[in-house]
Amino acid sequence: MSTATLLRQARLLRQKAELSRPAPSPILEAIRRDPAATMTMSGMQPDPWQESVLRSRALRQLLLCSRQAGKSSTAAALALNTAFLEPGSLTLLLSPTLRQSGELFREKVLRMWRKLGRPLMATRTTQLELQLSNGSRIVSLPENEEGIRGFSSVAMLIIDEASRVCDDLYRAVRPMLAVSGGRLVALSTPFGRRGWFFDEWERGSEWKRVRVTASQCPRISQNFLDAEEKALGERWFRQEY
């Protein structure tokens, strides 16, 4: 067989391979350009603080948020962004209880993924896990040190209601990021002047801090907040909102 024939066949094979390659998803391309698009393209208008968190590449972020500020939606968007854009990655969502883990996963992560039109199809879906066609996984877990220690090479670790996660568990999960160089984002409402979350907020040196009060959330009216302060009292109101 002549060299010209071999070159022609090689060219035809390349063209065939290019034609069979799936076209890039416009959803994923939009998220790659702007990570905040995960929320906008699923029908939500992110607040400025949410856009900042989603666009940040900081390895460590602490988010001190009012109730109903949108921290769970932000956590879901962070998890999906990592799974979409880092093939083969593992994202862990850690919550204080099984109920909270299930709520965060089903009502936030899965719902947002579906509203985006499933830009990557699932190869496995359970009550607490989503595995995508690019090999990435999102796993939502309750606070249980024995059940968590087996995970490693975590690309993104998200701790929801972090002020209520015990100190021992926090210390147990941090080594999961050692080899991967993964990111850690802790989101929470306040829970008094105690625990690792309070200590890191007050004295930690490695963190990007984001503080979000209820008055910064356009979905919460001032009339509601005035009524809540009257009903709860100043001390409890300051903690919740």
Q: What domains does the chain contain, in order, with CATH numbers?
A: 25-240 (3.40.50.300)
Contact 54/38 with Cβ under 8 angstroms? yes
Look at residue 147 in the predicted model and tell me its pLDDT.
62
Residue pLDDT, tens place only, 106-123: 999 999 999 999 999 999
DSSP string computed for 85-98:
HSTT-EEEEEESSH
Three-state DSSP class for residue 206: coil
Angstrom distance (rounded) from CA 12 to CA 110:
41
Please classify residue 72 by burial: count the beta carbons closer than 10 Å to its beta carbon, then call 0-12 exposed, 13-18 middle and 19+ buried: buried
β-strand pairing of 137-142 with 129-132: antiparallel
Look at residue 48 in the predicted model and tell me its pLDDT.
92
Q: Which residues of the chain fall below pLDDT 50?
A: 17-22
**What residue spans of 149-221 are helical by DSSP H?**
167-173, 195-203
Look at residue 75 in the predicted model and tell me its pLDDT.
94
Structure pTM?
0.82
